[in-house]
Amino acid sequence: MRLSQSLGKTIREAPAEAETVSHQLMLRAGLIYQVAAGLYAYLPLAYRSLRKIEEIIREEMNLAGAQEVHMPALQPLDIWEKTGRDKALGETLFRVKDRRERDLVLAPTHEEVVTSLVKSNVNSYRDLPLIVYQIQTKFRDEPRPRAGLLRVREFLMKDAYSFDSDEAGLSISYDKMSQAYKNIFERTGLPTLVVEADSGAIGGKDSQEFVLQAEAGEDTVLTCESCGYAANLERASFGLNPLPAEKEKPLSEIATPGTTTIAEVANAVGVEESRILKSVFYISEGKLVFVVIRGDLEINEIKLGNTLKMPDLRIASGEEVRAADIVPGYASAVGREELFVVADESINSGVNFVVGANKDGYHLLNANFPRDFKADVMADVALAKEGYNCPNCHSTLNARKGIEVGHIFKLGSFYSDRLGATYLDEHGKEHSMIMGCYGIGVGRLLAAAVEQNHDDKGIIFPNPIAPYQVHLISLNSDNDSVAELSDSLYQMLQGHGFEVLYDDREESAGVKFNDADLLGMPVRLIVSQRNLREQAVEVKLRSEDSGRLVPIEEIVDAVGAMLKTD
RNA sequence: CGGGGUGUAGCUCAGCUUGGCAGAGCGCUGCGUUUGGGACGCAGAGGCCCCCGGUUCGAGUCCGGGCACCCCGACCA
């Protein structure tokens, strides 16, 4: 492609609306055009890159035995009502009406349709297992689109769905997809962390996220360097530091006027924060949930929500707490048998805790579970943090920011039950199919690639997804011999199968160099009068600081070698 | 949805406090000089000052309402 003819121009200053690096660079490089909040057009260079990512995904999916299909993005609302996800998704679901006032949705994902599709085409265990996938545009009315292509309202996603006759089959399909994902991210040149993830309200047991490390990411991942444990913050567990063992002592009251926070109580009573039990109150559908956790820890509301399976869980207001006859700052479960109490497992890590006395200005010493209070639910609902102990070994957890580019789930029979996707086994008995789903954000992956691969001058595309492999710069294009050599190199390299972006513009050297750095193709060739005198062309990798002169007749081999080794 | 910010040339922004000819740099067009890291000169094109209403002799500027976009949070499989 001749740069002089290519749609999309580079700009010197980043538009004010862009704050994230990938957003700025993609706008400056002329890769994307914003149409509205969270809606972007891909210009030719970006679209080439996107298609390369798609091709790698297709190859690996096909290799894993998945079959490509294409399903409509526009779908009737009623299949979403059957699974109840119209309500679960709420305002995130784009809704439209057709001319006959029939309710339709712009699909945010395709479980409903794919399950219906498979239901009408698969009846027997002989047809299973089955994995289908597509690369389709998804629509989500996100509360807040942000950071360019990282969170948008219309985006390309590769989504795959597996159908098996049982859980064992699902595990095999899941592992196949997991391996395919590893291959895909390896081949795109984008190293990802595989982390345990929260599967959400509808997901089944297992779920893994593929996360690209980047500061701009929305995900926080906790990792352990020594044993390899890695989990999303929403899901991460951790090892508790054990408290000193001692005998249970009798309850006693202590005056603690004006101490309503854990820090104040610790200070007033003269104990570590970990020796206090903290009480936090939530409300779900009008019901009060009393949560007890060790004083040095915080509650992970995702874990809490998953444990309780209660909708619309939220922190209770001061009025709601007082209405339940609870004294804020001095509350505990001691003597409050009538309340619904959720205890974090951390309360088992010690004895003789300080708790509220359920009256203003007093705490109790030496509260012990289960001697002094009960718990209706005991679970891990604690928020992990950097510096906490790894749950598997004795090392410490590190926190990193990342971009979620892939997510795989074991779904189970949630959709097949509701939509009647069943098969007959070898005994003629009917069962629901067991499903898994597997997504990759294609556009987000492109943005994440830029986020992860750049320097202060611009993008540094990984070879496999670069829009072009070679950026050919003609420096003195009004000089006949330079122009001639440039043109012939352009033809020759293309003849050898290389993808060449040819800067044939009448621009100064500085402009061309800076644009080449900004656009970030892997290999740069410079044809100039100066180099011509040596009968050579300068060859340089974008990822390296300096290039070298290569005799003209060796250019093709040199470029080939550089693309291979990089 | 809560909090904050911004809307003036394609881009970055000044002008608004104190109402009185619509501005700069970059980019764009033409001509000439340049040519290895965002060159220079000359000449030019380019505006619904986000929209609607109000105040005023007069509004980019003041007042009211709305919209859009960005950031933080909530939310988000």
DSSP secondary structure, A291-317, as one string: EEEETT--B-HHHHHHHHT-TT-EEPP
CA A113 / C1′ B30 distance in Å: 59
- Could you give the angle at the alpha carbon of A178 between the alpha carbons of A174 and A181, nearest 5°? 140
The pLDDT value recorded for residue A316 is 72
Q: Could you tell me whether strands A154-164 and A362-367 are parallel, antiparallel, or unpaired per DSSP bridges?
A: unpaired
Q: Among A378, A409, A435, identify where a domain stops.
A: A378
Q: Quick one: A476 and A425 in the same domain? A: no
Q: Please, what's the b/e burial string for A382-413 (b: 16 or more CB within 10 A of its CB; e: otherwise)?
A: bbbeeebbbbeeeebbeebebbbbbbbbbbbb
Say what the ipTM of the complex is.
0.88
Q: Which residues pair with A461 in a beta bridge?
A: none
Q: Could you tell me whether strands A470-474 and A523-527 are parallel, antiparallel, or unpaired per DSSP bridges?
A: parallel
The pLDDT value recorded for residue A441 is 93
For the domain that residue A360 is a member of, what is the CATH number? Answer: 3.90.960.10
CA A283 / C1′ B65 distance in Å: 38
| Nearest nucleotide to A537, CA against C1' atoms | B36
Into how many domains does chain A fold? 3
The pLDDT value recorded for residue A430 is 94
For the domain that residue A521 is a member of, what is the CATH number? Answer: 3.40.50.800
The pLDDT value recorded for residue A476 is 82
The CA distance from A121 to A404, in Å, is: 33
- Show the domain range for A407: 48-236+399-448
Tell me the three state secondary structure of residue A459. strand
Compute CA A327 distance to the chain's CA centroid, rounded to the nearest angstrom: 41
For the domain that residue A84 is a member of, what is the CATH number? Answer: 3.30.930.10
- Could you give the angle at the alpha carbon of A349 between the alpha carbons of A227 and A196, nearest 5°? 35
| Torsion, Cα of A413, A415, A417, A423 (10° steps) | -70
Q: Quick one: A441 and A490 in the same domain? A: no
Does residue A326 sit within a domain?
yes
Neighbours of A329 (CB within 10 A): 17
Neighbours of A348 (CB within 10 A): 13
Does residue A32 sit within a domain?
no
| Nearest nucleotide to A89, CA against C1' atoms | B76
Instruction: Tell me the CA distances in angstroms from A306 to A187, A209, A344, A533, one per residue in order.
Output: 35, 18, 13, 71
Does residue A298 sit within a domain?
yes
The CA distance from A502 to A495, in Å, is: 14
Evaluate whether A433 touches A163 at the Cβ level (below 8 Å): yes
| Nearest nucleotide to A510, CA against C1' atoms | B37
Neighbours of A531 (CB within 10 A): 20
Please report, for chain A, how many H helices and E strands are present, in that order.
Answer: 15, 31
CA A439 / C1′ B70 distance in Å: 29
CA A41 / C1′ B23 distance in Å: 33
In the block, residue with structure tokens 């749950």: A391
The CA distance from A224 to A24, in Å, is: 33
- Separation of first and last alpha carbons in chain A: 23
SS percent in chain A: helix, strand, coil, step 5:
30, 30, 40
| Nearest nucleotide to A159, CA against C1' atoms | B77
Q: Quick one: A232 and A256 in the same domain? A: no
Report which DSSP code applies to A129: S
Q: Quick one: A354 and A410 in the same domain? A: no
Q: Quick one: A297 and A436 in the same domain? A: no
Q: Quick one: A514 and A561 in the same domain? A: yes
Q: Quick one: A404 and A278 in the same domain? A: no
CA A96 / C1′ B47 distance in Å: 37
Compute CA A405 distance to the chain's CA centroid, rounded to the nearest angstrom: 5
Q: Which residues pair with A525 in a beta bridge?
A: A472, A539
Asked whether the bond before A462 is cis by omega within 30 degrees of 0, the reply is no
Does residue A142 sit within a domain?
yes
The CA distance from A99 to A77, in Å, is: 15
Q: Quick one: A544 and A436 in the same domain? A: no
Does residue A304 sit within a domain?
yes
The pLDDT value recorded for residue A393 is 84
Query: Which of the residues in chain A have pLDDT under 50?
Result: 566
The pLDDT value recorded for residue A310 is 64
CA A458 / C1′ B32 distance in Å: 34
The CA distance from A154 to A174, in Å, is: 27
CA A367 / C1′ B31 distance in Å: 91
Does residue A454 sit within a domain?
no
The CA distance from A62 to A58, in Å, is: 6
The pLDDT value recorded for residue A358 is 77
Q: Quick one: A163 and A64 in the same domain? A: yes
Q: Quick one: A72 and A217 in the same domain? A: yes
Evaluate whether A364 touches A333 at the Cβ level (below 8 Å): no
Q: Quick one: A274 and A179 in the same domain? A: no
Q: Quick one: A190 and A61 in the same domain? A: yes
| Nearest nucleotide to A140, CA against C1' atoms | B76
| Nearest nucleotide to A23, CA against C1' atoms | B70
In the block, residue with structure tokens 């999916």: A61
Q: Which of A563, A165, A185, A239 is nearest to A397 (CA)?
A: A239
Report which DSSP code applies to A345: G
Does residue A272 sit within a domain?
yes
Instruction: Please list, in sequence order, all residues whose beta carbon lies within 8 angstroms of the beta carbon of residue A367, skipping any fewer than 6 positions away.
Output: A251, A277, A332, A334, A352, A353, A354, A355, A373
| Nearest nucleotide to A513, CA against C1' atoms | B37
Q: Which nucleotides of B are covered by protein (CB under 7 A)?
A: 1, 6, 10-13, 25-27, 34-39, 68-77
Tell me the three state secondary structure of residue A460. coil
Q: Please, what's the b/e burial string for A61-92 (b: 16 or more CB within 10 A of its CB; e: otherwise)?
A: beebebeeeebebebebebbebbebbeebeee
Asked whether the bond before A328 is cis by omega within 30 degrees of 0, the reply is no
Neighbours of A182 (CB within 10 A): 15
Does residue A119 sit within a domain?
yes
Q: Which of A366, A213, A339 is nearest to A280 (CA)?
A: A339
CA A36 / C1′ B56 distance in Å: 37
